[in-house]
Amino acid sequence: MPSSDDVTSDVDAPADFDLPRVVIAYVKPCLDAGEHAAKCALGHMMHVQAAVICDGHDFLKADLLYRRRGEEEWQHTPMKSLGNDLYEGDFTPEALGYWEYKVKAAIDRFTSWRDGLIKKLEAGECTPIDGEIGLPIFEGMIKACNRSPDRRHIEHVNSELELLIGDFGDASKEVIDKTRALLLDPEVARINHDLWTASETVESGTPLPLFVDPARAAFSAWYEFFPRSRWEEIAPDGNLKDCLPRLEYAAKLGFDVVYLPPIHPIGETFRKGKNNALHAEPGDVGCPWAIGSKHGGHKAIHPDLGDFKDFAALVDKAKELDIQIALDIALQCSPDHPYVRSNPEWFVHRPDGTIQYAENPPKKYQDIYPLNFECAAQEDREALWEELKSIFTFWIGKGVTIFRVDNPHTKSFRFWSWLIEDLRREHPEVILLAEAFTRPHIMAHLAAIGFNQSYTYFAWRNAREELDQYMTELTKGDLQGYYRPNFWPNTPDIYTDALQYNGRAGYIQRFILAATLTANYGIYGPCFELMEGIPLKRGREDYLDSEKYEIQTWDVRQRHSLGTMIRKINEIRKKHPALQQNRTYMHHSVDNPKMYAYSKTDPSGTDIILTVVNLDPWQTQTGTIDLQIQELGLRPDLPYQVHDLLTGKLFEWRGWRNIVSLDPRDIPAHIFHITQHVPETGM
Amino acid sequence: MPSSDDVTSDVDAPADFDLPRVVIAYVKPCLDAGEHAAKCALGHMMHVQAAVICDGHDFLKADLLYRRRGEEEWQHTPMKSLGNDLYEGDFTPEALGYWEYKVKAAIDRFTSWRDGLIKKLEAGECTPIDGEIGLPIFEGMIKACNRSPDRRHIEHVNSELELLIGDFGDASKEVIDKTRALLLDPEVARINHDLWTASETVESGTPLPLFVDPARAAFSAWYEFFPRSRWEEIAPDGNLKDCLPRLEYAAKLGFDVVYLPPIHPIGETFRKGKNNALHAEPGDVGCPWAIGSKHGGHKAIHPDLGDFKDFAALVDKAKELDIQIALDIALQCSPDHPYVRSNPEWFVHRPDGTIQYAENPPKKYQDIYPLNFECAAQEDREALWEELKSIFTFWIGKGVTIFRVDNPHTKSFRFWSWLIEDLRREHPEVILLAEAFTRPHIMAHLAAIGFNQSYTYFAWRNAREELDQYMTELTKGDLQGYYRPNFWPNTPDIYTDALQYNGRAGYIQRFILAATLTANYGIYGPCFELMEGIPLKRGREDYLDSEKYEIQTWDVRQRHSLGTMIRKINEIRKKHPALQQNRTYMHHSVDNPKMYAYSKTDPSGTDIILTVVNLDPWQTQTGTIDLQIQELGLRPDLPYQVHDLLTGKLFEWRGWRNIVSLDPRDIPAHIFHITQHVPETGM
């Protein structure tokens, strides 16, 4: 078999008298003409699509080529036609880091000839000449086989064919059947597909980049808590030592990433008081995002939380539980941060010599000094960027590989590009979650330049149409190739109306939506599972007495906690590959606008999960769901089994239309696992 | 003022410690990453959009740069923000040929500072230092002004500002007002926008190509007839001489392109008979697309039609009437074509030495030999391609610059790319209409590689949803930048159900839709305006006794002809720039699904045409239209005038909802010109 390296690219050649005639276009995913890398997680399937077109009616064939960056040899897999000139292929990358892919295609001369020949034979319109036209094609195949073991098979088919050709004129049924058997042999099809001759083959230009990150970048359940908060009985001291049992709690609930807000020393100058008061009272603990004091900066641990030994114990415990610690990286400084004294050139200075604090005129944030990513002198910039990178590598050295990056959209995108490119070289295992709640193009760009996961607008999408439209945007458009949504029903800053006003059903609805719509999701607890919280004011999304500014006490042992339900749903997510990716999201209409039904399947289509949520937190809602059963690969003529994984109840459904009723006082959702028993036929 | 050439591109630079921080993305139109050119017709406005983003809250500014290919200097125009980080700019290219465009952007430091300062002043939170922060910005502006006359103005504003700064601490109303007047001065804004410093400016990478073609490429009305057909009284002989009065007829009806099916000698071998019969009877005239006989090939005129003197007279007459002749280029040969003898290497040979005729197994088209665009020898290919190009240049030499290209999708795309690139060099005035009725990606690719206009699926889009969805695809997506739809209600091959079954109303509906939905449209007459035709068979779209295979006689003087209405609508199209482009298409909902309402405006939004079509050919339909009046630039608090250009009736409408009723026995459509008188206010 010829290696694909024999193939030369014709794409960049000027349009001249060159052949071949095939054109490859719209290779997807393709970010910014290949400037940025698409994403695929280890062990996940990478799907590539392209339009492959040609003049006339010839059959075409296409292969997806892929390799790790730097490797010589391309691996290849056939692409299958999706109709309308689109072809799709997939592969499962088996190593972290950069990969690349491209598409090659050619006219399939064998199949084009064979198809016409068989049609003519069957229509009684064939002549020996129509058969003879195929002989040079066989000759070409035999030559291309070279020393491959396939050669013998093609030679055999060729000589058998030659014996039949004479009878094509007025072909008997026997001749037709023999010819069909000979030419429709799948082994011939396989060999034919694998033969590529350079002069006939087109490739899709410069290979497109792909970054392969850890499996957890694509599928994860996050649990956020403040390490300084106090958990009655379980963790009364609010320090890192106390976090060990909390990790056990999170692991028991099925979370696999535990995210801690900043654990660094907190500034004292202009420290904010409780409820974000402009002035702190004595004893106020300050906001963890005002990083830096005499005790150190981004590479130090707040003395009240413990020391590096405690931190190492935490990381060890996490490893034991198969969960990961995610730290918060907020690249900003309190006025007391060591950088302010050691490197004043990294900050903006006002004409009076003072350092410019953060502001959004007329609002002032005097407890925060932003870093100046565009310091005038190149060497200062370089030193600043290197120092900031060293914060990441410092904590990587301590065993942390997941970081939630605070407000990345207020720091230079060029800095992030440089940092991510650099980190990936040594540490492809790192996962960065972009905490950017801003405008769509900016959020998309941060994902394009490499953030592995991204916060989203999920918290503010409540109606069915809003949710479906957003899911369609995230899973069906270009974003799908590089933007990994992480759905959070709440955060310390986002306490939504749905949680404030809709009671227990509101929490469950938002949790189930987050956990089943996207493969990555998270909650800020324990206030979430305990459903505790008072808004700062009517119409505000901040919590009153927020943990951001004071130490809270929680009792996670309370009986009304949603912990059991959360645990069950995390178990369902782990058991069902359908819920471990986003691209197969499919909306199914229900004739009641309060009912939202959507399915996901694994890439092979065998694991089918249908979620139905009653979006009304107060009333029982009933509706007829119009299931796209054929699109789900189900046979419409047979019943199918619908197993509610939340209650254990099993239903038998038939056909497209089935009635669903959900009482929000119970559980306002079904998570159905759908199976269908297809009997063996007697054929 | 610094010329934009001072600006260096940072886009291709690796992410390093370089500034600036602005990022430009998604410049549109952009075909295949800039491989193919967008289109704009002479005198039309070219719209360019881009996302311009930056970290943080700074104000940004963006310019659209454009120039003819090969020119040194860029022209520039400011882009305006559309919100959501999108910016748009436009220019009107004033010469045919290739142009190019790119986007540049920078942080607008002046406006960022000014905006914060004024907010602080108004909130009473300002200090002199906040003013002083602006002084280096003024210094930079003065320096950048260099010797420009603007320098004096900025120096003046700067010195005035310096006088005020001292009072910013507890600013009086007078100080605030003075500062506002000084800094919000539009002249300062203009100067500030025009100042670009290389180190602060980002550009959008490689300039994108644009091809500027003649105005008629974007706005045209085509009339197709067979020159050999006989028009009673007017043109009884059916030859080129007879076409002169027919040009007058077409011009009178308001058409500006007259398209003639092939006028070349017709083959005799395997000639098709009437109604596509396999064998011709003596006297059968054959099909004009079976090109070539002993009388010549693609560069000859059928002897029955006349000679080159007649053709020259025809072209002269067209010029006099300000219409253009479009010829049909069908790159295929009858077995009698001179090429078959002179260059047998340009055809595919079967093993028995015969030439391969066209086939779509088991169907055979023995009267047609396809050309072999991939002849094995490079020099044969080269000779063939050059010869085919010479067909175009031959007819260009005879005064023809518009060609309707028959089935381009059955010829090598590479040939078209080469041909079009080559033709454009010498003849940017040429317009090619692609007659490809095939799958979407192929039709789009032909437009991408340069066909100026394209046939569409219009003939098979009948319901409101279908029409709106198709128009949205054509005018709102990527196609908009390069695919110029030409809507035909009928062709010699396409006699649709809407025309076969829906009577006079059906013809009018389809005509008005074609002529008002898109700027380019055409009809095949005189059977269209005479509403004559019988389908070959039930369920077939071919005409019985089609002119493709025999000579027909028409009487265009008949009183029931739609000629008067066609003439009126062509006049409306010429008078209203709203109907001369497609991008402003807007759908307005009507609560009756049989009523389809859509508007178009000119680029400035001042000329507004609203078309309402009753899609039911038999029943009066009434509906309430929900007009998007604010999107049309109308004030919702004032009445507006709605003038039906078809009947001359004038209505006064108010608000969003207005009732429309249309009786198909009369005219099943309104073409409204909307105006609104906005009174001068006493302010």
Q: Which residue of A has its CA nearest to B376?
A: A19
Comparing CA positions, the residue from A530, A496, A527 lying closest to residue A513 is A496
Enter the tokens of residue B554.
Answer: 């028409």
Average pLDDT over residues B591-617: 97
Nearest CB to A15 within list B15, B373, B414: B414
Comparing CA positions, the residue from A205, A242, A207 lying closest to residue A225 is A242
In the set B242, B406, B550, B607, the catalytic residue is B406
Q: Which residue of A has its CA nearest to B442?
A: A53
Task: Decide which of A680 and A557 is more confident.
Answer: A557
Nearest CB to B410 within list A55, A373, A385: A55
pLDDT of A217-253, one tens digit each?
999 999 999 999 999 988 899 999 999 999 999 999 9
Chain A within 8 Å of B503 (Cβ-Cβ)? no
Q: How many CB atoms lie within 10 A of CB A196?
A: 20
Chain A interface mutation, best of B23, B201, B424, B479, highest count of A Cβ atoms under 10 Å: B23
Enter the tokens of residue A341.
Answer: 């004294």
Comparing CA positions, the residue from B240, B339, B226 lying closest to residue B291 is B339
Chain B interface mutation, best of A55, A197, A382, highest count of B Cβ atoms under 10 Å: A55
Percent pLDDT > 70 in chain A is 97
Q: What is the pLDDT of residue B362?
A: 80
Give the confidence band of A18 by pLDDT, cuts at 50, 70, 90.
low
CA B78 from chain centre, in angstroms, equals 24
Comparing CA positions, the residue from A447, A445, A616 lying closest to residue A520 is A447
Give the confidence band of A374 by pLDDT, cuts at 50, 70, 90.
confident
pLDDT of A378-387, one tens digit each?
899 999 999 9
pLDDT of B401-448, one tens digit each?
999 999 999 999 999 999 999 999 999 999 999 999 999 999 999 999
Q: What is the pLDDT of residue B5?
A: 40
User: Is the CB of A21 less than 8 angstroms away from the CB of B125?
Assistant: no
Looking at this protein, which amino acid is placed at residue A18?
D
Enter the tokens of residue B415.
Answer: 């040939």
CA B672 from chain centre, in angstroms, equals 23
Whether the domain at A22-212 and the domain at A219-263+301-330+385-575 fall into the same CATH topology = no
Residues of A in contact with B441 (CB under 8 A): 25-26, 51, 53, 84-86
Residue-level length of chain B: 683
Q: How many CB atoms lie within 10 A of CB A266?
A: 24
User: Is the CB of A364 less than 8 angstroms away from the CB of B125?
Assistant: yes
E-strand stretches of A298-368 = 324-329, 332-333, 358-360, 363-365
How many interface pairs between A and B have CB atoms less than 8 angstroms apart? 155
pLDDT of A322-362, one tens digit each?
999 999 999 999 999 999 999 999 999 999 999 999 988 88
3-state secondary structure B330-399: CCEECCCCHHHHHCHHHCCECCCCCECCEEECCEEECCCEECCCCCCCHHHHHHHHHHHHHHHHHHHHCC
Cα A365 to Cα A277, A359, A368, B546: the distances in Å are 11, 6, 6, 81
d(CA A320, CA A245): 12
d(CA B230, CA B553): 5
Task: Decide which of B38 and B233 is more confident.
Answer: B38
d(CA B565, CA B512): 10
Chain A within 8 Å of B115 (Cβ-Cβ)? yes
Comparing CA positions, the residue from B315, B310, B268, B304 lying closest to residue B287 is B268
Comparing CA positions, the residue from A279, A327, A281 lying closest to residue A301 is A327
User: Is the CB of A125 less than 8 angstroms away from the CB of B17?
Assistant: no
Enter the tokens of residue B198.
Answer: 């290389």
Average pLDDT over residues A537-543: 93
3-state secondary structure B35-53: CECEEEECCCCEEEEEEEE
In the set A435, A468, A529, A541, the catalytic residue is A435
Q: What is the pLDDT of residue B377?
A: 86
Angle between helix A173-183 and helix A109-122 axes, rounded to 10 deg = 160
Residue B436, min C-alpha distance to chain A (Å)? 11
**Which residues are within 8 A (CB) of A415 and not within 5 positions of it... i.e. 6 or more apart?**
A373, A385, A388
Enter the tokens of residue B106.
Answer: 């920078």
Q: How many CB atoms lie within 10 A of CB B570?
A: 20
Chain B within 8 Å of A278 (Cβ-Cβ)? no
User: Is the CB of A55 less than 8 angstroms away from the CB of B409?
Assistant: yes
CATH class of B219-263+301-330+385-575: alpha beta
Q: Which of residues 388-417 of B touch A (CB under 8 A)?
A: 408-414, 417
User: Is the CB of B439 less than 8 angstroms away from the CB of A85?
Assistant: yes
In the set B63, B284, B328, B435, the catalytic residue is B435
**Which residues are within 8 A (CB) of B379 and not within 5 positions of it... i.e. 6 or more apart?**
none
Q: How many CB atoms lie within 10 A of CB A618?
A: 13
Residue-level length of chain A: 683
Give domain A22-212's CATH number out of 1.10.10.10, 1.10.3720.10, 2.60.40.10, 2.60.130.10. 2.60.40.10
Give the confidence band of A51 by pLDDT, cuts at 50, 70, 90.
very high
d(CA A456, CA A470): 10
Residues of A in contact with B360 (CB under 8 A): 57
Annotated catalytic residue A100? no
How many alpha carbons fall within 13 Å on the CB side of residue A611?
29
pLDDT at A6 over 50: no
Q: What is the pLDDT of residue A645?
A: 98
Q: What is the pLDDT of residue B32?
A: 87
User: Is the CB of B385 less than 8 angstroms away from the CB of A17?
Assistant: yes
Residues of B in contact with A352 (CB under 8 A): 129
E-strand stretches of A337-442 = 358-360, 363-365, 369-370, 402-406, 431-435
Mean of pLDDT over chain A: 94
d(CA B89, CA B67): 14
Q: Is A146 exposed, middle or buried (0-12, 13-18, 19+ CB in 10 A)?
A: exposed
Cα A439 to Cα A198, A358, A413, A450, B670: the distances in Å are 47, 20, 15, 18, 41
pLDDT of B308-340, one tens digit each?
999 999 999 999 999 999 999 999 999 999 999
Q: What is the pLDDT of residue A197?
A: 86
Task: Decide which of B1 and A649 is more confident.
Answer: A649
For A640, phi then psi, to 5°, come to -140, 155
Domain spans in chain B, listed from the N-terminal domain onward:
22-212, 219-263+301-330+385-575, 582-675
For B509, phi then psi, to 5°, come to -55, -50
Q: Which residue has the tokens 């939004």?
A: B605
Enter the tokens of residue A682.
Answer: 């007697």
**C-alpha dihedral, A142 to A144 to A148 to A151, nearest 10°:** -10
Mean of pLDDT over chain B: 94
Q: How many CB atoms lie within 10 A of CB B642?
A: 22
Give the confidence band of A680 by pLDDT, cuts at 50, 70, 90.
confident
Chain A within 8 Å of B33 (Cβ-Cβ)? yes
Nearest CB to B374 within list A21, A57, A122: A21
Comparing CA positions, the residue from A250, A271, A364 lying closest to residue A550 is A271
Average pLDDT over residues B335-362: 94
Q: What is the pLDDT of residue A175?
A: 95
Q: What is the pLDDT of residue A326?
A: 98
Chain B within 8 Å of A32 (Cβ-Cβ)? yes
d(CA A110, CA A20): 16
CATH annotation of A582-675: 2.60.40.1180
Chain B interface mutation, best of A35, A366, A414, highest count of B Cβ atoms under 10 Å: A414
Comparing CA positions, the residue from A262, A131, A231, A118 lying closest to residue A184 is A118
Residues of B in contact with A410 (CB under 8 A): 55-57
Q: What is the pLDDT of residue B204?
A: 94
pLDDT of B273-299, one tens digit each?
999 999 999 999 999 999 999 999 999
Enter the tokens of residue B607.
Answer: 């000329």
Helix (H, G, I), strand (E, B) or coil at A191: helix
pLDDT at B11 over 70: no
pLDDT at A663 over 70: yes
User: Is the CB of B441 less than 8 angstroms away from the CB of A26?
Assistant: yes
Percent pLDDT > 70 in chain B is 97
Annotated catalytic residue A435? yes
Specify the pTM: 0.92
Q: What DSSP assignment string belongs to B155-218?
A: HHHHHHHHHHHTT-TT--HHHHHHHHHHHS-HHHHHHHHH---GGGEEE-SSPEEEEEE-HHHH
Q: Which residue has the tokens 């960027």?
A: A385
d(CA A18, CA A23): 13
Q: What is the pLDDT of residue A314?
A: 98
pLDDT of A382-430, one tens digit each?
999 999 999 999 999 999 999 999 999 999 999 999 999 999 999 999 9
Comparing CA positions, the residue from B149, B154, B112, B137 lying closest to residue B197 is B137
Residues of A in contact with B53 (CB under 8 A): 413, 439, 441-442, 445
pLDDT at A107 over 90: yes
Q: Which of residues 336-375 of B touch A (CB under 8 A)?
A: 350-352, 359-362, 364, 373-374
Give the confidence band of B17 by pLDDT, cuts at 50, 70, 90.
low
Chain B interface mutation, best of A17, A201, A206, highest count of B Cβ atoms under 10 Å: A17
User: Is the CB of B133 less than 8 angstroms away from the CB of A350?
Assistant: yes
